Structure 1
Amino acid sequence: MDRLVCGDVGFGKTEVAVRAAFKAVVDNKQAAVLVPTTILAEQHYNTFKDRLSPFAAEVEHLSRFKTKKEQKEILKKLEEGKINIIIGTHRLLSKDVHFKDLGLLIIDEEQRFGVKAKEKLKFMKENVDVLTLTATPIPRTLNFSLLGARDLSIINTPPKNRQPIHTEIINFDKKIIANAIARELQRGGQVYFVNDKIAKLDELADIIEEIVPFAKVAIAHGQMTPAQLENVMMRFLEKKCNVLLCTKIIESGLDIPSVNTIIINRADNFGLAELYQLRGRVGRSNLKSYAYLVTPPQSSLTKQAIRRLHALEEFSELGSGMNLALKDLEIRGAGNLLGREQSGFIGEIGFDMYMQLLDEAVGELKDTLPADSLPAETVRKLEESSKLKTKDVIVESDISMFIPESYIDDENTRLELYRKLSGVNDMNMLAEMKEEFIDRFGKLPA
């Protein structure tokens, strides 16, 4: 199995992971859960432990919160098979990590890992099933699924009473920011204020305390010691502070229902998936939630940054993660399927043409692979699909096949019609296209 599970933040991907890991344990296999941050590893450990404790499944986690002595003991038990489920950060990719019988690899927040990291763990053991969880798959992964090289499952059903997050792009305006924070605090809620650089956090804390005097600001970032970070997060969870000023350390997996406003400073410096994950930290209750993307004047932003921000503003309804991922695929390109690049620009030849060329190349490769190198099930499927295929016929002619500019003067309209014409494969479709041309543009040119 190599399956991608795509579901919005808070839609239940962790529940799928818990049940899949339990199934592996029942089948006497070990399961590994790879997560991008220490905080998420701790949170998943508590979730798995609570859910599986009645079934005597041994769950452990590896992260920088563990001492060297504790890590050594965990690794020993893992190799002996005494640990059924191990949850960890990149520490799981180290050379000293050995499994007795690994059966399932779960990659959470897939968009946060590089190709090298994912392939390294996958090839530690043959015949390992891989379950990838994400709200916004990176272009390369999504393209794998669209091509059929990886199975895709989409969770579309939102939790009950969940409301869409109101998303707004604003300039850095103290009055707007003060109103946003004050409104949330006055209804008894809490606020995330995210900044991309640690150096600016103290300065921003002073500004927040100046414009909202009753705000209690706490600062969190990745350079703090585990004890300091844990102390800040516990204070925030206990509502001893109501504004958490932080870097994108909160991006993955945090679930605090009382936080329903997030302000992201210099949102133009974040990727689309990062922004989507950050926005997903709010809106986890039945209250209306707000996300403010703070940017410099749009005249100073790159075209790609503007497209990212407007895409996030446009796709704010529940279950829009897949739409955003497709938009990201369009903006950044599909990357190198056989290499490590996870995105790459494909606009020069057009997305449809790119997918057609890629599909043809994959088809040719399948045809040239020796049958004995493929599993029997795959060979059977290929034989069935080849019976349904028809070969394209190329017709060469000296007659001009272009749509004259005098007939349709808009270039984008002509390109769209060329695309539709390329999909015509029978006389009925051709007749429908002819009717559309006459109806929209008049009599066909001679």
Structure 2
Amino acid sequence: MSIKIPRGTQDILPGTVEKWQYIEEVAKDICRNFQYKEIRTPIFEHAELFTRGVGDTTDIVQKEMYTFKDRGDRDLSLRPEGTAAVVRSFVENKMFGHANQPVKLFYSGPMFRYERPQAGRYRQFVQFGVEALGSEDPAIDAEVISLAMSLYQAVGLKKLKLIVNSLGDNESRVAHREALIAHFKPRIEEFCTDCQTRLEKNPLRILDCKKDRNHELMATAPSILDYLNEESRSYFEKVQSYLSLMDVEFVVDPTLVRGLDYYNHTAFEIMSDAEGFGAITTLCGGGRYNGLVEEIGGPSTPGIGFALSIERLLAAVDAEEVELPVESKVDCYVVALGDQAKDYSVKIVSDLRKAGLSAERDYLDRKLKAQFKAADRVQARYVAVLGEEELSSGTINLKDMESGEQESIKISKLVEAIQER
């Protein structure tokens, strides 16, 4: 029987992978401009990291994690998201003691969640994210949001919607929590079992329920903005003013709730307004998490970050019909005729590549016409034709595939001639 790819995963093949590489390079370039440094963490961590860091009331921990026992009877989990692992590394490597603060990091890599596969959502997906640790200045919140918007705009997306909200500090959240419990408790039996469990543990998560999103109590639920104390309100107003100074357009949505337990103060999402993108329009989400470092065993350290799915980003690119400037052409295809010419073409191709040029040759012993067709398929800019006669005279015929012009030059001058063109 044939072995097929596991459900919820995908092969990214040549022709498509170049788009991924382009997106990844754009993201790295933007992070360099914003002075964020790359960090790479393990693909699996101790399961406790995510139950403590992500929150045991979240769908991720309760339903979606890939957790297993290793040979030492330890509970390990494939990472379902990037923030908890980055914060674990921040604490373990004592980055809070670095001279340069805040510590600004970015990451990219596969994450794993056992959920129902659908368009743009996979059980193994690639997440890109940034984390800024060590500052509670609302300007860094605005900077992180601006970085996320810059990435989407840099790849050519235009139909974007940024929504922001404040979840307040602990005092504000306690007041809002009590109001939510009082609001939902009389009719909580009408909600799903998950919401019934969340009522006492974390009633804010009820607002994020996908099953009961259309229940009438959702529309009349108390708004967090009505329970912000003066400090939280001032903080949120500062974030909004900085976004306006940076010409970042946004909409305040008091119903926005992030799906992880560690968020407070600023929360945001970037949505796609592209026609035909799908029912789930969220591209990116993030927010502030001032208590997460302490939860994972570090000193009191404020933080803010976001994460996005590369798959979702590429789906938005397709929905807006954006043509990514992916370059896959070959600089020179070497056509060789005759045994000695074929042998020598190995050196020519090697010399071209050593000079930093993209080069290819025939490996199937094809005829002249078939080799030219192969050169067309790889979109070769130039074709260098070497026969036995040219080899004996130390020359090679160089053809410009766009103009059709052809000239005979010294083999020793081939690299220089292509570089000049």
TM-score w.r.t. length of structure 1 = 0.21
Which is richer in strand? 2
TM-score w.r.t. length of structure 2 = 0.22
